[in-house]
């Protein structure tokens, strides 16, 4: 039985972490077998294929209001998979803090802050937090979803659908993950990585054209700072997905700009101050506050 099937009947609700009425994504915290568990429910978009029969899939109407030529109500639909479900089990305090609705602020990381606050924080993160990355890199998870895998330990990377991708082209969301483990984040990048980054970008362009028929001009490739996972990866989204999660300034750095900066100044990311948005429940929020 799958993880999800196992967990659902045992889930004991504790509290709502967040309920975004605009994106229609809810995160719930609960307990399963005495351990924390996060469930997320997201209303899906209608698949093109079911649109012609949508009117025939209405089962029950409630809250009906009618006025002249206008009417509206709430409907229960039959035979449509209308919710995307995700499970994190067992969930750590870091997961709970990540998905809980909270105030966010903009902080400025100087190179010195990086050395004295951020780097010690990164080093304190247990290796197992990126186990999901290693499972992908060594072929023990999501194997049937891999779009591209160059196994070279220095220059290689994997491209696959991001956990956030709902499968439609307008909301394309892939992720490219490096095989090498020594690039922690944007801060680690130097002029020596330019050819690696250019090759990765080129491969993304080719695969997006081949698999989903999107041109380079229809793609937004970016790197998060601060990322949640300090193992180098690049986010690949459709430009059309203008409100993709994490696409905002204060978080997303365009790959093109990153490459350009490194070509101009090979040590750009070791010298620059980087502003970043962080939630008040994140460890770095507290670490910066006292420094």
Active site residues: 233
Could you say which residues in the range 174-233 bind ligand M7G, by CB under 6 A?
A: 175, 224, 227-229, 233
Q: What DSSP assignment string belongs to 92-111?
A: PHHHHHHHS---EEEEEE-H
Whether omega for the bond prior to residue 226 falls within 30 degrees of 0, making it cis, is yes
Residues of span 137-156 touching ligand M7G by CB under 6 A: 142
Q: Are 171 and 244 in contact (CB under 8 A)?
A: yes
For the CB of residue 228, give the shortest distance to ligand M7G in the complex, in Å. Answer: 3
Distance from the first to the final alpha carbon of the chain = 48
Please pick, from the candidates 29, 158, 160, 238, the single residue that binds ligand M7G as defined by CB under 6 A: 160
Helix (H) or strand (E) run with residue 264 in it? helix 255-264
User: Which bin fits 33, alpha (ψ -120 to 50), beta or left (φ > 0)?
Assistant: left
Among 132, 205, 268, 285, binds ligand M7G (CB under 6 A): 132
**Residue whose CB is less far from ligand M7G, 61 or 163:** 163
Closest separation in Å from C-beta 184 to ligand M7G: 11
Residue 231 CB, shortest distance to ligand M7G, in Å, is: 8
Using the rule CB under 6 A, is 246 a contact of ligand M7G? yes
Cis omega (within 30 of 0) for bond into 281: no
243, 247, 251, 252 alpha-carbon torsion, rounded to 10°: -160
Q: Of 142 and 166, which CB lies nearer to ligand M7G in the complex structure? A: 142
By CB under 6 A, the residues from 81 to 110 that bind ligand M7G are none
What string of H, E and C letters represents the secondary structure of 174-219?
EEEEECCCCCCCHHHCCHHHHHHHHHHHHHHHHHHHHHHCCCHHHE
The single residue among 36, 100, 150, 162 that binds ligand M7G, judged by CB under 6 A, is 162
The CB-of-263 to ligand M7G minimum distance in angstroms stands at 23
Q: Identify which range of 2-10, 50-58, 162-170, 194-202 contacts ligand M7G by CB under 6 A.
A: 162-170
Give me the residue label for tokens 């709430």. Answer: 74
How many residues contact ligand M7G, by CB under 6 A?
15
Residues of the shown chain interacting with ligand M7G in the complex, contacts defined by CB under 6 A: 132, 142, 160-164, 175, 224, 227-229, 233, 235, 246
């Amino acid at each position: 039985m799958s993880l999800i099937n196992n967990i659902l009947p045992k889930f004991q609700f504790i509290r709502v972490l967040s309920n975004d009425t605009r994106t229609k994504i809810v995160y719930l915290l609960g307990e399963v077998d005495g351990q924390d568990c996060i469930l997320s429910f997201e209303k899906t978009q209608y698949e093109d294929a079911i649109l012609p029969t949508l009117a025939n899939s209405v089962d029950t109407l409630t809250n009906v209001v009618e006025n002249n030529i206008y009417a509206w109500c709430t409907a229960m639909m039959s035979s449509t998979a209308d919710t995307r479900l995700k499970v994190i089990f067992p969930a750590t305090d870091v997961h709970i803090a990540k998905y809980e609705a909270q105030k966010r602020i903009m902080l400025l990381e100087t190179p010195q802050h990086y050395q004295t606050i951020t780097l010690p924080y990164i080093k304190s993160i247990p290796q197992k937090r990126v186990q999901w990355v290693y499972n992908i890199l060594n072929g023990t998870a999501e194997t049937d979803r891999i779009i591209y895998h160059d196994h070279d330990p220095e220059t290689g990377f994997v491209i696959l659908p991001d956990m956030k991708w709902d499968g439609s082209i307008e909301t394309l969301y892939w992720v490219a993950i490096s095989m090498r483990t020594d690039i922690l984040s944007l801060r680690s990048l130097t002029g020596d990585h330019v050819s690696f980054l250019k090759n990765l970008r080129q491969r993304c362009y080719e695969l997006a054209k081949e698999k989903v028929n999107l041109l380079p001009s229809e793609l937004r490739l970016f790197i998060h700072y601060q990322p949640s996972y300090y193992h180098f990866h690049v986010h690949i989204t459709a430009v059309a997905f203008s409100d993709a999660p994490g696409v905002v300034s204060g978080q997303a750095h365009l790959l093109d700009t990153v490459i350009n900066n490194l070509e101009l100044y090979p040590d750009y990311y070791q010298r620059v101050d980087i502003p970043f948005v962080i939630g008040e429940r994140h460890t770095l929020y507290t670490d910066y506050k006292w420094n």
